[in-house]
Amino acid sequence: MRFIPISRLAFAFVVPIALCPALAYPQQPSRQPAKATQGKPIDLPSKHSGPLPKADFGRPSTEPPAKLIHRQARETRRKNYFPFIVDPGRLDRGSAETAGVKFENVVYFESSEPFPQAAYATTILIGRVKTAQGFVSQDRTYVYSDFEVSVEEVLKQDPQTKLTPGQSVLVSRPGATVYFPSGHVRKYMVMGKGMPKVAAEYVFFLWKPTPDLPEYEILDGGAFELDNGTVHPLDERGFKFDGADAKVFLADLRKAVGASKN
């Protein structure tokens, strides 16, 4: 993995050179993640991404002690995901706002299945995003965002939790916009992996990195916005579905999930 801090005012072309993270599923080859173009800032990690949620650096948490311990347990598995985070001061490389971009290049194998990630998902559901909040881990080596999602339909059931419509679940993804006490702003993002939009409806492919904790993470290529009958992939890796008819997409997905149970 490689983490590259990039000024908003001057960019160079960058190439993903990192090795894959722990979980990878087979998928058709995809286009390369969007690259920074000279003189243009990186504002979003993917075409259909929502804004990166806000995280306040150094602000005391208002969560009760038990919840803080729980959060620290969640953060442990992503220790050292980003370089140690400190307030860069009002200006960094001549700019009051910068971007720290992480590239992940995962090795995927070709598959004839339209939804190969379904086999790796703990649960697949349709839900609407209610809230979004960014966080900096207590050891200051991880930046991530939590999204509260209202479950509308469960397409693949979590065998341990048994999700039901109307229930809320918490899903997360690396990245957020960090606001430092000095006034500096830095966007931490993983190129090619977008952030869900508040109030938008998605099909989520989720997994539990820690089985005994209730929170989920979004799989790579594992979120698709349902927008007025059209599908928009949250991640670059799902681009083959961009603009697809939502009814056809969901019908094919239900068939794939049903077939995986047989």
Q: Where residue 16 falls among pLDDT bands split at 50, 70, 90?
A: very low
- Listed in sequence order, the residues at least 6 apart from 66 whose beta carbon sits closer than 8 Å to its beta carbon are none
Which pLDDT band holds residue 93 (cuts at 50, 70, 90)? confident
Cα distance between residue 211 and residue 101, in whole Å: 29
What phi and psi values does residue 127 have, to the nearest 5 degrees? -155, 165
173 forms beta bridges with: 145
H helix or E strand, kind and range, residue 260: helix 246-261
Mean pLDDT of 134-140: 96
pLDDT in tens, 166-189: 999 999 999 999 999 999 999 999
Considering only CA atoms, which of 204, 217, 211 is closest in space to residue 21?
217
pTM: 0.82
pLDDT single digits (tens) 39-73? 345 689 999 999 999 999 988 888 899 999 999 99
Chain CA centroid to CA 174, Å: 6
- pLDDT band at residue 12 under the 50/70/90 scheme: very low
Of the given ranges (109-123, 173-187, 207-221), which has the lowest mean pLDDT? 109-123
Cα angle 262-256-109, degrees, rounded to a multiple of 5 = 105
Contact assessment for residue 156 and residue 84, using Cβ atoms and an 8 Å cutoff = no
User: Would the CA dihedral through 162, 198, 139, 141 be positive or negative?
Assistant: positive
When pLDDT is averaged across residues 111-122 and rounded to a whole number, the result is 83
**How high is the mean pLDDT of the chain?**
83
Determine how β-strand 176-179 pairs with β-strand 97-103. Answer: unpaired
The phi, psi pair for 90, rounded to 5°, reads -60, -40
Question: For residues 123 and 158, is the Cβ–Cβ distance under 8 A?
Answer: yes
Please, which residues have CB within 8 angstroms of residue 32's CB and are 6 or more apart in sequence? 16
Decide if pLDDT at 210 tops 90: no
Question: Averaged over 91-106, what is the pLDDT?
Answer: 82
pLDDT of 20 higher than 80: no
For residue 147, the cross-strand partners are 132, 171
Q: Identify whether the C-beta of residue 127 lies closer than 8 Å to the C-beta of residue 163.
A: no
- Residue 25 pLDDT class (50, 70, 90 cuts): very low
Contacts of residue 158, defined as CB under 8 A and 6 or more positions apart, other chains included, come to 122, 123, 208
**For 122-138, what is the mean pLDDT?**
97
Structural domains of the chain ordered from first start: 2-261 (2.40.50.120)
Q: Which helix (H) or strand (E) holds 256?
A: helix 246-261
